[in-house]
Structures are given as structure tokens and as C-alpha cells.
Amino acid sequence: MNKKRQIFLDTETTGINKNGIHYIGHNIIEIGAIETIDRKITGKYFHTYIKPNRKVEVEAFKIHKISNEFLSNKPTFCEISDKFLKFVRNSEIIIHNAKFDVGFINYEFSKLNKNFRKIEEICTITDTLSLAKKKFPGKRNSLDALCDRYEIDKSKRVSHSAFIDAELLCKVYMLMTGGQILFNFSKKNDSKFSKKFFEKNQERSQVKLKILYASEDELLAHEKYLKLIKNRKSFI
């Protein structure tokens, strides 16, 4: 029986744009990816910071707080590319606003002197933003908004982080897709997974409804009302 392998992925970059797509000439500076098999966290993950070939824009820095100085001694994308491909190959990659991250990943590989097939040709891509828009039409469906909707603790997300966002995305997806949830977070991976959401729904399912029976006076009043209706019908 084939097991379903899913990778929850997020990236941070040197620049952003308002259209939420790859910003030409900009680079990935962080990749975070978490593996699940049959909806269970396995403990395997891929996480790295990447030295870009350009400076981080001020507006992007305000979002993720990753500085040029911090990235100066990190590996290049070329140095991590084989390891990254090995981790994600033949899996279903789940991304929030996939067009953005997929565009950046394909752009990075296109600059290397390798026979590279586009990431969507070697993996299945699932966009949780599209799923959320179908499930919650007309509502805000950012990762932040979805965490609030599902009561997921995002206190660790002081600033954007590819690895933290991949972890939050994993939780959002499991709740959003319903069915049997087989989370198995270890204390090392996540001790703050929001049990409140499950406990609240479990309490609702266990509530016993109180049955209220009519009093004698109420039964007599009801009988009188039925007789009144019957008498009125006899005159019609």
C-alpha cells in the first residue's frame, strides 16, 4: 500500500510585489519544508538560509527580518539545490499562494547549469490559498487569518519565517481538509499545537440536550386551543 507523502513548504525572498507572484531578479533566502506521511509529522524536514546574489530590499526585510549581514556566510542556492530536490522529489508539495513560491523555485533552478524540469513537473503542487478561497469565499484567507479562524497558536510568528510558516500551514491544512487528523507532534517539534480547537468541538459533541416536558396547565391550554379550532371549522 502506497503511503501519501506530503511536504509543507514556504520561502522567504529578497523582494516582494503586490501581485503575489515571483518578483523578477529577486532570490530565495530561506526555505522551510516539513514532511508528513499519511497525515503524520515524521520529524524529517528541510530548512536552510541561502546567500542571494543581490541585496535584500527594505520592504522585504521589514516582513522577515533576515538581513544581508546574516546571509553573508550562508550557502548559495546552487550548493543546496541537489539536497532540496532530493527532499521534495515525487511528493505532493503544499504551499500557501503556490504561484509565488513555485515561481521563485523555478527561477532559481533556471539559473543553474543543470537539466532542470519545473518543480510542478516532478511534484504535485497543492495551493492552500485556492482551497481556502473555495471553502471561505469572500473572507480573508491569508495564513494569519486562517490560523485565527482555526484557533491555531501563532505566537512564535513574531516575524515571517519559512520554517515556522510551513509548520503553521501544516496545521491549517489538516484542519481545513477535515477527515481523520493524525497529528503526532513531538514536544521537540511543537509543544504548542492548539488543542483548544479540538477540545471545544469534542465538548460540543458530548453535550446532552435537556428535554422539557409540558406542564399540566400547558396541556389543558393546548386541549382548549384544539377544541376552539375544531369548533371554528364546524361553522365553515
Residues comprising the binding site for substrate? 10, 12, 59, 64, 165
Catalytic option among 22, 26, 96, 160:
160
Distance of CA 153 to the CA centre of its chain: 13
Pair type for strands 40-49 and 28-37: antiparallel
| Residue 207 burial class via C-beta count within 10 angstroms: exposed 0-12, middle 13-18, buried 19 and up | exposed
* Binding-site annotation: residue ranges for a divalent metal cation: 10, 12, 165
* Binding-site annotation: residue ranges: 10, 12, 59, 64, 165
Three-point CA angle 68, 103, 110, nearest 5°: 80
Helix residue ranges per DSSP H, the chain:
58-64, 68-71, 77-88, 98-110, 119-122, 128-135, 143-149, 162-177, 196-206, 216-234
- The cell for 136 is 471561505
Which residues in 166-203 are b (16+ Cβ under 10 Å) and which e? bbbbbbbbbbbeeeeeeeebeeeebeebbeebeeeeee
| 26 annotated active-site | no
Report the SS3 class of residue 204: helix
Residues with active-site annotation: 160
